[in-house]
Chain A
Amino acid sequence: MKITVSSTGLSALDRPRLPMIALVVFALALAVFFVFPDRLSLAAYIGIFALFALSLDLALGMAGIVTLGHAAFFGVGAYTAGWLALAGWQEPITGVVISGLCAAALAGALGPFILRLTGLPLVMVTLAVGVFLFEAANKLTWLTGGDDGLYGMTFSPVLGIFEWSIYGTTDYLYVLAWLALAFYGCHRLTTSNFGLALRGVRENRLRMSLLGSSVLAQLTLAYALSAFIAGVAGALLAQTSEFVGLEVLSVEKSIDVVVILVLGGVGHLYGALLGAPVYLLIKDMSKEWNPHAWMIIIGFMLVFVMLVARGGIHGVLHKVIARSRGKLPNGEPR
């Protein structure tokens, strides 16, 4: 079975379009800081999931790795950050980097085995790896605290200056800084030779290997980079909430992040930024309204996006902008 990703992918040598979207999103994100000073904890949470979804876009959108187990890396990042702090390493930035590296190491170890698979077997194995880690974390209570999770950790001020506050001001700006950094890094990556090679692998694995490309090594590297960012996101969740619970490794988190990315739009990096606030705000609001209705709403949204609005929010925005300029760019399906 051939893997294709439902993105309206960039043609190989294009500069990514719509850089405006990123600037607008980050400007809006900064505006949130001043307009909703009492909702910054939720905003930081959204930023963390945008980062998590960005990491998935690297694996799924760029490299075509269809995974239902990305929470594995998110969870490893979160637990690592928690353990470090509990062991006395309270400096947050190095904590985040170490957590990301641990997640990347796991992906690097798994990659050579599981990335030979494509299609449904790959989906199955990533799902099984995710469930395996969840069940393991559930059983190894001396390590993870089991159901109770890890708590009682504290972190020293960011850069030694910015104290963590209960209003989430430091948390939010800290998350936003990591998100901006990761977004810039990923943006550079998409236009690099490595990014182009990945796109080639996504489109036609066999052809790339015949061209002399070491497909498995490239996929593993992409997977590890993606896991690094997912681990960073997990570590940020641990540091901002000062708690790590089992749910960071749950299948639900893996599905959440795929849904966020697909709602936003796969393969453009912007999808993560657009999908996270929409998904999490809808989830938050509909849960307040009725604790069960949110799954129905999210379910209908998924069906709608898949049947009507393929390409997600980014796809719709892209079309609207193109229409307003009186043209549909080349190579855009429909």
Chain B
Amino acid sequence: MEQFLASLAFIILYGGTYGAVLFIISVGLVMTMGLMRVPNLAHGAFAALGGYLTILLMNQAGANYFVAVPVAVILVAALGALAERTIYVRLYNIPELDQILLTVGIAFIFVGGLALTFGPNVFTIRLPEVLSGSVDLFGRSFPVYRVFLLAVGALIILGFWLVFDRTTLGAKLRAAVDNRSMAQATGINVERIVMLAFAAGTGLAALGGAIGAGLFPLEPLYPIKYLTIILIIVALSGFGNIKSSIVVAMVVGIADTAARYYLPELGGFAIYALVIAAVAMRPAGMFARQG
């Protein structure tokens, strides 16, 4: 029994860190999809880019990890803003399939570009000394790196809460998500808000790609490989519901870890069965208002 509880606690911890990274990567997509109604299937590409830029900054410019990550995030966010103004802005009123294909095309360009620039192999980011040890937890060791992931996830949740609930920008953002044209009519510059949100979303993806590289190894196929799991979070969160995306990311992270641990034979695809059932029952998302 004690054994079981101990393993359960560790599954929750390990699954929770997995969920935290999933949350950081996908929350940007949840937000922009609610706001822009564009399924940006290239979202994973921005995450991969964040990771690769971090490696580049550390290896080529000799930057410290804690400098390289934020610089990479800012660069990707700027690229996101640029992409929103030039490409994504053309996607708002075209059919869904076209949006999907165009963003898949962008993801392809990234995959090919990453493979050409960095080669087809998996890259690892050297963690700074502070993050490479482990701490003692319930008599077992737990990597500091994972504590760091949980902390960053918590900080981002706090940040979201502060921006959304405590600032005018947040209020405008919520207005734009709820009713775009009404927000526009009250004088909110929705275009600017969308651009900022998209930049923030891609920046968050980059952050997740950079600090989550220990769980999601960086490789050229990254944008396609992790697309399914990212989209699962978005679909179950209900396209635009940031609060539920926290819960969904955690549940998916923990459920996936638990399934792989207790049912190693089925573990890999248990999560997909769950998703099929969940979306089929509640197509608007797990926490959508019924109606």
Chain A residues with a Cβ under 8 A of chain B: 1, 3-6, 60, 66, 68, 113-114, 116-117, 119-121, 123-125, 127-129, 131-132, 135-136, 138-139, 251-252, 255, 258-259, 262, 266, 290-303, 305-307, 310
- Taking A5-B97, A251-B228, A259-B101 as contacts, is the C-beta distance between A117 and B272 under 8 angstroms? no
Query: Residues of A contacting B265 with CB < 8 Å?
Result: 139
B105 touches A123 (CB 8 A): no
Chain B residues with a Cβ under 8 A of chain A: 37, 39, 87, 90, 94-98, 100-102, 104-113, 115-116, 120, 220, 224, 227-228, 231-232, 235, 239, 265-266, 268-269, 272-273, 275-276, 279-280, 283-284
Query: Residues of B contacting A302 with CB < 8 Å?
Result: 101-102, 104-105, 108
A132 touches B272 (CB 8 A): yes
B228 touches A127 (CB 8 A): yes
Bound Cα distance from A306 to B106, whole angstroms: 11
Residue of chain A at shortest CB distance from B273? A132
Q: Which of B90, B109, B116, B239 contacts A299 (CB 8 A)?
A: B109
B113 touches A296 (CB 8 A): yes
A66 touches B112 (CB 8 A): no
Bound Cα distance from A60 to B279, whole angstroms: 20
Interface of A is mostly: helix
17 chain-A/chain-B pairs, Cβ below 8 angstroms: A1-B37, A1-B96, A5-B95, A114-B276, A121-B279, A125-B280, A129-B276, A131-B269, A251-B224, A251-B228, A295-B108, A299-B105, A301-B105, A302-B108, A303-B106, A306-B105, A307-B90
B102 touches A132 (CB 8 A): no
Q: Which of A66, A127, A294 contacts B231 (CB 8 A)?
A: A127
Query: Residues of B contacting A307 with CB < 8 Å?
Result: 90, 102
Q: Which 6 A-B pairs have the closest CB atoms?
A: A302-B105, A299-B108, A135-B269, A296-B112, A295-B112, A299-B109
Q: Which of B97, B104, B235, B279 contacts A255 (CB 8 A)?
A: B104
B272 touches A135 (CB 8 A): yes
